Chains A and B, each alone.
Chain A
Amino acid sequence: MSSEFSKVWRLPGDIDTDNLAPGAYMKLPVAQIAKHTLESIRAEFASSVKVGDVIVAGPNFGIGSSREQAAGVLVELGIRAVIAPSFSGLFFRNAFNLGLLLLTCEQAELIGESELIQLKQETRQDALLGIQHTFWVISEKREKLKCSDIPDFLMQMIDHGGLINVLKFKMNYAHNIKAE
């Protein structure tokens, strides 16, 4: 299935958690930290970004702190996905836990500022690894770009809107089983 068109915000490599959620605002709720997202490198971002837009960045996106608000602000602003050649491992976990889709794409650097792209999702059963989800970046400017596979348990976090909803779902399920 292919999605709607998303507008690309192009960012450099090594975007750190202080760029995304600056320490000085960490006392505030996520909705307010979000107003300062990327202000040290791209002042207009937080006020101009639209729900459904996509970030395409250079390598090492999300390096630095464990503060999950760095991913939370992007969810708050309605970012549909972040596409980059590599992510900080800690940021990667936080993003999926909050329902933010990260797509690891070696050729992300080919995608340009303000480009309109679509994301196409394919699902398959791997004999060894179980259900895997593959995303493709579709643009009329080039051949489609493949992103790394996402295991099903991580994709469930995206589909449910984060780990807390997955936990709710599982606890309700366990509760209902007991009730029966």
Chain B
Amino acid sequence: MKNINHSSSMSRPQTLAQKLIAKSAGVEAVSSGDILTCKVDLAMFHDSSGPRRLKPMLESLGARIWDTSKVVLVLDHYVPATDAQSTQIVQITRDVAKEWRLPNVIDTQGICHVVLPERGHLKPGMFCVGGDSHSPTGGAFGTYMFGIGATEMLGVVVTGEIWVQVPRTLFMNWRGKLRDGVCAKDMMLHMIARLGMNGGAYQAVEFTGDAVRHLNMHERMTLSNMSAELGSQVGLVAPDQITIDYLKNTRNDLNEEWCRHALQHWYSDEGSEGEHFDFDANELSPQVAAPHSPAKSASIQSYGRERFNVAYIGACTGAKLEDLRAAARILKGRKVASTLKLLVAPASAQEQRIAASEGVMKCLEDAGATVLANTCGACAGYGFNFQENDRVISSTARNFKGRMGPASVDVFLASPYTVAASALRGELCDPREYLS
């Protein structure tokens, strides 16, 4: 495939997504619908999608990884191993990491989408792929990052390249300011209800507006993360000073000139093509998705009595530092209902340490939470699962039938605020009742 521009005008305004693709394809500008080959700056895969699938395919090709410095391997799905099969998968992963001499291996330190930025692997302007559907999380950093399957990952690690069809951009413009107790997860559930599970149609979503500008990086990651549930290829937030401040904490190679360039270049030009969707943050109340789809989301006021026996705060979507802080604000000095168990699986070891230093973990534990490992846990449904007829309220991203346990399990999705408040009552509860 040759990278030929069909666009006649080079001065045409470009969206952030178009600029990111143009850079990695080595062309001036691109148009929606163009099919281009892009150079990959970083490829991330984990213990499920990675070595166990890639090794046999690489060997059958007699090929090697194009550049191990651009690969990050994360063990997060089958750790801690619970049975013989997962033990074997984890062992293969560790053996292959040694054999391939991978310089970047993050083993049982947290979920890939959280540890990747935490370790400074992402920055604005990069073009990245991940062997996991929630890879659009990287878009929060102005990175063009999307999920691919294992065979496509083989193509990437052999060639260092991947094809993309330049997407249209759907601008999600959030004006106003979120009310206390309402957060990015509520924004996302609301957008998915409005557009549908595949409403993003594999296009680029870009989150804009005052309400987005006020979100910290963890909250922006929640937006980008659940772009997967919107069915978009990527979920982007243009970098600003909040992005730069986060990045400076994770890496020390960012000089002022680079930062200035990042801020002046990685945004959607005035007048660039796209569809616009407007939302009012002031009006948003906590959102809850009923079983078995994130698209079945509605305001909490529209629900009747829903009792739960499990409350789960976990996953890359719902157990980052900011999510743990939100839950702690509700749970502080209170006790979880006796009819329910609260499970908390912090998204990374580093975030758990920070939460512990702030007293957040103590709040959760004193309220009666059981703290689980820093892994995908019940969200992936690969190891730890819920039991027959469990009724669960969860801060995770997906509530498909049979995903997190037997088909009889009912999972409701909500923000960490709402999960925490519901844990106190043993039934669905508006967290604003506990915030005054």
Query: A interface vs B, CB < 8 Å?
Result: 14, 16, 18-19, 22-24, 26-28, 40, 59-60, 63-68, 71, 86, 88-90, 92-94, 97-98, 128, 151, 153, 162-164, 167-168, 171
Contact = CB atoms under 8 A, between A and B. Distances in A.
Given A64-B400, A93-B148, A164-B61, 4 more contacts: A16-B400, A27-B89, A63-B197, A163-B155
B371 to A, nearest CB: 23
A94 B149 contact: yes
A27 B154 contact: no
B131 interface: yes
Given A23-B381, A167-B155, A167-B158, A90 B403 contact: no
A67 B149 contact: yes
Contacts of B158: 167
Interface in B193-224: 196-198, 201-202
B46 to A, nearest CB: 10
A93 B152 contact: yes
Contacts of B62: 171
B37 to A, nearest CB: 10
Contacts of A24: 381-382, 385, 402
Contact of B85 (A27, A151, A153, A167): A27
Given A22-B402, A40-B402, A167-B155, A92 B149 contact: no
Residue in A19, A27, A88, A153 with the greatest tally of chain B CB atoms within 10 Å: A27
Given A66-B135, A67-B149, A151-B35, A88 B61 contact: no
B60 interface: yes
Contact of A64 (B6, B131, B133): B133
B149 A71 contact: yes
Given A24-B381, A97-B149, A65 B201 contact: no
A171 B61 contact: yes
Contacts of B150: 68
B49 interface: yes
10 contacts: A23-B402, A24-B402, A40-B401, A40-B402, A59-B198, A90-B146, A90-B149, A93-B148, A97-B155, A167-B61
Contact of A94 (B1, B63, B151): B151
A94 B132 CA distance: 12
A89 B382 contact: no
A11 B231 CA distance: 20
A16 B60 CA distance: 31
| Smallest CB-CB A-B distances: 9 pairs | A89-B202, A68-B149, A23-B381, A94-B149, A60-B198, A66-B133, A27-B85, A66-B147, A97-B151
B211 to A, nearest CB: 27
Interface string B236-270: 00000000000000000000000000000000000
If over half of B's interface residues share one DSSP class (helix, strand or loop), that class is named, otherwise mixed; here it is loop
B151 A60 contact: no
Contacts of A71: 149
Interface of B: 1, 6, 35, 48-49, 57, 60-63, 78, 85-86, 89, 130-133, 135, 146-152, 154-155, 158-159, 163, 196-198, 201-202, 231-233, 293, 380-382, 385, 398, 400-403, 407
A90 B200 CA distance: 12
Given A97-B155, A153-B1, A163-B151, A18 B133 contact: no
A3 to B, nearest CB: 25
A22 to B, nearest CB: 6
Nearest to B129: A66
A88 B63 contact: no
Contact of B163 (A16, A64, A153): A153
B152 A89 contact: no
A68 B132 CA distance: 10
A64 B49 CA distance: 15
Contact of B57 (A19, A93, A164): A164
Given A63-B231, A93-B152, A171 B89 contact: no
Nearest to B52: A27
A64 B398 contact: yes
A162 B60 CA distance: 14
Contact of A68 (B1, B151, B407): B151
A19 B86 CA distance: 22
A68 B6 CA distance: 32
Nearest to B151: A97
A11 to B, nearest CB: 14
B207 to A, nearest CB: 19
Contacts of A63: 197-198, 231
Given A27-B86, A60-B197, A151-B35, A90 B1 contact: no
Contacts of B385: 24
